[in-house]
Amino acid sequence: MAILNLDLGTRSYPIYIDSGLLSKVDLLSSHIRAKRVCIVSNDIVAPLYIDALKAKLTDFSVDEVILPDGEAEKSLANFEVIMSHLLTNEHGRDTTLIALGGGVIGDITGFAAACYQRGIDFIQIPTTLLSQVDSSVGGKTAVNHPLGKNMIGAFYQPKAVFIDIDSLATLPVREFNAGMAEVIKYGILGDKVFFEWIEDNISGIKSADKQILAQMIEKCCQCKADIVASDETETGIRALLNLGHTFAHAIEAEQGYGKWLHGEAVATGMVLAAKLAVAMNLLEVSELRRMEKLILAFDLPVIAPQDMGFTEFIRHMRRDKKNIAGKLRFIIPTAIGQSEIRDDVSQDTLQEIL
């Protein structure tokens, strides 16, 4: 088992990564403050894993909120469903929420934990590749608004993250590939050696070799933990983790949440960011082609939706959380393994690539 630590002083927490983690070791209880636990999951993941989880919680009083599946359910309406459940069942400040599911469940549960009675404990048990390599770590919690992705939320850290690689066995291939977009992101934004490691291990990754998956997930979590430890609330370097996301969030909101998977939108977003870099003479075309090739190896899209051009993108990008004083800011890859935050992208260049 790998155990990483996200170092945030009194709010530090461990990230456990293993195959068969939930059935092997009973680590969970040491991270639960008192006797009450509420599991938040959805109607796809709960039938697969909630019984195994509950079997590890026999010393606790456990109830659950099962939400409908889908990105469109990461909503204020379902946030209220969780609040109403907690209040109806008289949960107190000592309750621990457990998020059992992908990034949608992790994000909404974390936000509910941040808000219920001004903050209660929560634990992340991510079950998709995307949530295991990215969203369960770092404390960004949120719900979507019809006018913008993740627009209502909080920075709020979990007490622990439990990554059981075995849960990927039931994940549809399209979802696995969407997670690979965030994996490739780490390579492009700051780690050429890791990018090359992915290139060299495509077949092992695709065949779900457990050792390779464990190595890959650990690498991503370590990268994220290091960045978050130095910039928890994104006043600087953490913004690099948003490579491709300025475009991706526009695609997701414009197309309707759930039509494009988040990872698919990030894949295309990273290619658009790279095209921007090429147009600004900051990136070699050969590097762009190499990025595209790796993204395509996981059957991810590299072209924006046909019905979206400059006007549709800009409408959403104006609300991007990275903007400062109304100025758009983009994460620009300047080489494989290197990226910068830039606010000097001209409208003409944007128009050209969109």
Q: 242 touches which of ligand NAD, ligand GLY, none (CB within 5 to 8 A by kind)?
A: ligand GLY
Contact 50, 38 (CB under 8 A): no
In the complex with ligand NAD, which residue's Cβ is closer, 102 or 244?
Answer: 102
238 binds ligand GLY (CB under 6 A): yes
Q: Cβ contacts of residue 229 below 8 Å, gap of 6+?
A: 6, 7, 8
Cα 339 from Cα 96, distance rounded (Å):
38
Q: 171 touches which of ligand GLY, ligand NAD, none (CB within 5 to 8 A by kind)?
A: ligand NAD
**Closest approach of ligand GLY to the CB of residue 240, in Å:** 9
For residue 74, give the DSSP letter. S
* Closest by Cα among 280, 288, 276 to 350: 276
Is 254 catalytic? The answer is: no
Which residues in this chain contact ligand NAD in the complex, by CB under 6 A? 42, 44-45, 48, 69, 71, 74, 101-105, 107, 127-128, 130-131, 134-135, 138, 140, 150, 167, 170-171, 175, 178, 262-263
Cα 43 from Cα 51, distance rounded (Å):
13
- Helices 173-190 and 262-279 cross at an angle (nearest 10°) of 30
Question: Within a 10 A sphere around the Cβ of 14, how many other Cβ atoms?
Answer: 16
**Closest approach of ligand GLY to the CB of residue 227, in Å:** 8
Residue 282 CB-density burial (10 A; 0-12 exposed, 13-18 middle, 19+ buried) = middle
**Closest approach of ligand GLY to the CB of residue 83, in Å:** 24
Is 238 catalytic? The answer is: yes
Cα 27 from Cα 16, distance rounded (Å):
9
In the complex with ligand NAD, which residue's Cβ is closer, 71 or 287?
Answer: 71
Contact 28, 18 (CB under 8 A): no
Report the SS3 class of residue 170: helix
**Closest approach of ligand NAD to the CB of residue 276, in Å:** 21
Q: 31 touches which of ligand NAD, ligand GLY, none (CB within 5 to 8 A by kind)?
A: none
Q: 18 touches which of ligand NAD, ligand GLY, none (CB within 5 to 8 A by kind)?
A: none
Residue among 71, 73, 175, 182 flagged as catalytic: 182
Q: 238 touches which of ligand GLY, ligand NAD, none (CB within 5 to 8 A by kind)?
A: ligand GLY
* Closest by Cα among 277, 222, 228, 135 to 269: 277
Is 316 catalytic? The answer is: no
Residues catalogued as catalytic? 118, 140, 182, 224, 234, 238, 242, 245, 249, 262
Q: What residues line the site for ligand GLY (CB under 6 A)?
A: 134, 138, 140, 238, 241-242
